[in-house]
Structure 1
Amino acid sequence: MSKKHLFALIVWSATLAATGALADAAQRPGDGDPVGAAEQSGSEETAIRRALEQFRTTHVPLSQVLTIAEHLHDGSRTADISFESSGTPIYRVRTIKNEHVWENVIDANTGSITGKEIASSLKELDREDLANVVALKWIKQEMADAVQVAERAAAGSALAGGLIRQDGRLNFVIVVASGDHLKEVTLEPHKVGKPGSSRH
């Protein structure tokens, strides 16, 4: 999966998506130059800077939002979470339990639920999302564990996270705001019953 698709999946900010700002935030030299990247670089940097400024003013950290979302449905686990900076800053969180999937919007300043919960079943997910969610059952770590490790590793605060399949492996990918930059931290989770290792 490309960096562009990776960020599109885990960061759903309407403002940033409109400019493609986060699509290649973690682009490294040699990863290839996506179409239009040179023309968009100025607007991308502006949009990222604006999003980071708004993120820094929020009062509820992503780790607390995970707890709030998972308590809405006892025993649920977070599949992905993202910060959105268009209008009132919010987190969009998708949790799962058994065959159920819930999407909630949580105010980044108050921690309150905003809007109507969207409930669906696993059958309604596309193949890639379904494969990742099913694989979540075999992973020991929770999203909160991955966020904690990523924030320490990147010396910042997480603003998005999800499960992404890369090179045939399912990894937690956490986006961390560190200074004036976004950093991507990839963590390979331990499988249930199998020894594993984490990598940054």
Structure 2
Amino acid sequence: MLSKKHLFALIVWSATLAATGALADVAQRPADADPLGAAAQSGSEETAIRRVLEQFHATHVPLSQAMAIAEHLHDGSRTADISFEAFDTPVYRVRTIKNEHVWENVIDANTGSITGKEIASTLKELDREDLAKVIALKWIKQEMADAVQVAERAAAGSALAGGLIRQDGKLNFVIVVATGDHLKEVMLEPPKVGKQGSSRH
């Protein structure tokens, strides 16, 4: 399972506050904003976000390439979520799915090499919320890579995380884009399989 690190937790938290009607709903969050609304944590949140942005801007492997690397490990797999994590060696944590299988891999953000051991599981091992998202993903024709491209154009930056969130009965892609020293959240409602003309990007 993909552990809910700081940045991905920020995506989920902020996405619950975002409107879902637009294809690309862009919200800007300054790097020094306090996403949890707790004054006592503002210093640590600010430091964490700035550290993530500094490391992200210095990396050599874009998020889209990290997704492609992970998907290539298992032919026909699709990215369910991905997040950039700032450690001594910055990495992308990518979760891919295919049929009943789920894989989690860690990819070095500077070299593109796989680091650590792959974690393999099945849909039966997912919690109810994650399982619902994965099942819904099967009915979406848009790939995470497509959502990332739209988000990067809409926010004029580089994506550093992406995932799925269910809100008001709808499943949306939520992409976090780094633009300078700011984070911008882009929410996209993907077209469903079989619906023509619903892809507006």
Give how far 1:47 is off.
Answer: 1.4
> Secondary structure of the equivalent of 1:109?
coil
Counting only pairs closer than 5 Å after superposition, residues 1-200 of structure 1 correspond to structure 2 as 12-13=5-6, 37-195=38-196, 196-197=198-199
Q: Quick one: distance in 1 between partners of 2:55 and 2:48?
A: 11
What residue identity is the alignment partner of 1:181? H
Q: Quick one: distance in 1 between partners of 2:170 and 2:45?
A: 29
Contact map agreement 2:12 2:165 (CA 8 A) in 1: no
Alignment CA distance shift 1:73-1:86 (3 Å)? same
Alignment CA distance shift 1:122-1:23 (3 Å)? closer
Contact map agreement 2:11 2:174 (CA 8 A) in 1: no
Provide the TM-score with structure 2 as the length reference: 0.83
Contact map agreement 2:105 2:118 (CA 8 A) in 1: yes
Q: Write out per-residue CA displacement over residues 2-48 of structure 1, whole angstroms, 9 at most, x where no aligned residue.
A: xxxxxxx89625xx69xx877867778xxxx9876122122211211
Aligned residues: 183
Contact map agreement 2:80 2:163 (CA 8 A) in 1: yes
What residue identity is the alignment partner of 2:45? E
Where relative contact order (Cα < 8 A, 6+ residues apart) is larger, the structure is 2
Q: Write out per-residue CA displacement over residues 32-65 of structure 1, whole angstroms, 9 at most, x where no aligned residue.
A: x987612212221121111100110000000001
Q: Runs of 5+ in structure 2 lacking a partner?
A: 19-33
Q: Quick one: distance in 1 between partners of 2:114 and 2:42?
A: 34
Contact map agreement 2:84 2:93 (CA 8 A) in 1: yes
Alignment CA distance shift 1:131-1:25 (3 Å)? closer
> Secondary structure of the equivalent of 1:48?
helix
Q: Runs of 5+ in structure 1 lacking a partner?
A: 1-8
